[in-house]
Structure 1
Amino acid sequence: MAARQGGADLGAGVPGARPRASERLDELSSELFGRVLEEITSNLTLAVRDILGQDRTVRAVRDVQRGKLHITFTIEQDGQEEDILTGQGGSVCNILSVGLRLVALSQLDPARHRPFLVLDEQDCWLKPDLVPRLTGVVKAVAHKLGVQVLLISHHHLDRFSFKVDRIYGLEPGRDGARLRILQGEGEESPSAQGGTDGEFAADRGVD
């Protein structure tokens, strides 16, 4: 890539100017990406600490494999690296998975993609008393980003009562499952209403 001004190539006639300009652009892009990645890991660290109540730190390691950038997330506690998949019985994986999904959704063009996220059993490995913390964090981020979130869970309704905008229940029947509102205003399902930006709903099976 060469810099141009008024139709003139600024690198013309200057030995090595184009490679240096290209290298500098690569450096700036890498620096910018590094700052964005630091912000993401910082926010994920805050989420992990808020939900688990423990002093854990999320790290991100960048690596180039076969010409493509790879990012590996790790988590540390007291200077010791912990397996994300098994940390706290899978709770860490639950939290990071939700956080990265919200980050990815926030980067999509809203003109082409509806800001809607379904979290299916993303609280499955969390202890019941930690579920409201996860729900509270997701709700706060969803409202900030203007994202509509549907959280599917089998935890008791009490875990969501004060953390979501609506609670829906699925009730099996001979003619198929029936969706009904257990908490919140309105009488229609989200698909019928279309939802609103930043709305956060929980859905659970009804015994």
Structure 2
Amino acid sequence: MTSIPLEDLGKGERERGEPFAKGFPSRTSFSENDLSEERQELTRRLDRLSGEAAGKVRAYAAARTAKVEIERFLDMAPQVAGKLEELTRALFGELLDEIEADLTHAVREILGQDRTVVSRRDVKNSRLFIEFEMEQDGKSEDILRGQGGSVCNILSVGLRLIALSQLDPAKHRPFLVLDEQDCWLRPDLVPGFVRLIAAIAQKLGIQVLYISHHPVDLFADQADRVFILRPGRENGPRLDILCDRAASGASLPPVTAEASAETSDE
């Protein structure tokens, strides 16, 4: 290892008159103009970095505020869900009370029995679930099994009329097709059934197409127009207008089940 005295460093350069530490300019080599430009560049960089820093501070503050709002919302979510469930029960509860009363009236009017229609209500996943039952003398009865299906006939028609009445008439035509909705009713119950349907439909402004295999004289007096479908051996079924009371005001001739099953082609 060789040591060089400090005073010998740069000795050769000094003897030859060359500057020491070649390649490193002396401080006096910077002009005032260079320093001014450097200062301006540093000032611009400082301003730019200061602006970026201010923007990041604002973004952080906004994110923190949003985080606080989200946490506050999440804290309120269980309470809001409970309130919505309560409002749902209250809103649909009033409607269901009316539906229960209307269906109970229909059952009693048609069947002549002291029965009550009740609804079991439950809210699951913000959706309302409804199940209808019959009650008589404090005992519940399954609608699908009780009365041999006659209660199903009555309630299904009632619910259809109610559902249609809740729709926007500008988007949905108030027209209801009832295909053999009296299939489980005894013939003597059909007139009262059709009479009630006609009254409700007229009150709600709903046009009803009623299709039945019962003798037409059981319900014809409640219809504005009566059509009869006659089977034919040669040309197939034929649709005839039996009466158009709405247009002519004419009375309906009696038509029996035998007449409605006429098979000849004219």
TM tier, shorter chain? 0.7 to 0.9
Which of 156, 162, 167 is equivalent to 1:103? Answer: 162
CA distance in 2, matches of 1:19, 1:155: 55
Q: What is the deviation of 1:64?
A: 3.5
Whether the 8 Å CA contact 2:85–2:123 is kept in 1: the answer is no
Deviations 1:10-46 (A, max 9, x none): xx8x997786566445423321111111111110000
The superposition leaves residues 87-110 of structure 1 with CA deviations (integer Å, 9 ceiling, x where unpaired) of: 221111110010011111111221
Matches within 5 A, 1:11-160: 23-65=82-124, 68-160=127-219
SS at match of 1:123: coil
SS of residue paired to 2:184: coil
1:180 aligns with 2:240: yes
TM-score by length of 2: 0.61
Q: Which residue of 1 aligns with 2:53?
A: none
* Structure 1 unaligned residues grouped into runs of 5+: 1-11, 188-203
* 69 and 186 in structure 1: CA distance in 2 versus 1, 3 angstrom threshold: closer
Checking the alignment, whether the CA contact within 8 Å between 1:165 and 1:184 is kept in structure 2 is yes
Q: Is the 1:84–1:93 contact (alpha carbons within 8 Å) kept by the matching residues of 2?
A: yes
TM-score normalized by the length of structure 1? 0.77
RMSD, matched Cα: 2.6
CA distance in 2, matches of 1:62, 1:186: 42
1:106-142 per-residue CA deviation (whole Å, 9 max, x = no partner) reads: 1122112111111111101111110001001100010
Q: 1:186 to 1:140 in 2, by over 3 A?
A: closer
Gaps in structure 2 of 5+ consecutive residues: 1-68, 248-256
Q: Please list every run of at least 4 consecutive aligned residues from structure 1 whose deviation after the TM superposition is greater than 4 angstroms.
A: 14-23
- The alpha carbon displacement at 1:57 in A equals 0.2
Give the Cα–Cα distance (whole angstroms) in 2 for the partners of residues 58 and 151 of structure 1.
24
Higher normalized contact order (CA 8 Å, seq sep 6+, divided by chain length) = 1
In structure 1, what residue type is equivalent to 2:235?
A: D
What is the Cα deviation at residue 206 of structure 1? 3.6
Query: Which protein has the larger Cα radius of gyration, Structure 1 or Structure 2?
Result: 2
2:134–2:142 Cα contact (<8 Å) kept? yes
More helix by share: 2
CA distance in 2, matches of 1:169, 1:177: 10
User: What letter corresponds to residue 175 of structure 1 in structure 2?
Assistant: N
3-state SS, counterpart of residue 110 of structure 1: coil
Give the direction of change, closer, same or farther, for the CA distance of 1:68–1:27 in structure 2 (3 Å limit).
closer
The verdict on how the C-alpha distance between 1:82 and 1:146 changes in structure 2, with shifts beyond 3 A counting, is same
Cα distance per residue 1:35-65 (max 9 Å; x no partner): 1111111100000000001100000001245
Task: Confirm or deny: 8 A CA contact 1:169 1:206 kept in the other structure.
Answer: no
2:131 and 2:192 map into 1 onto residues whose CA distance is: 26
Preserved contact between residue 57 and residue 76 of structure 1 (Cα < 8 Å): yes
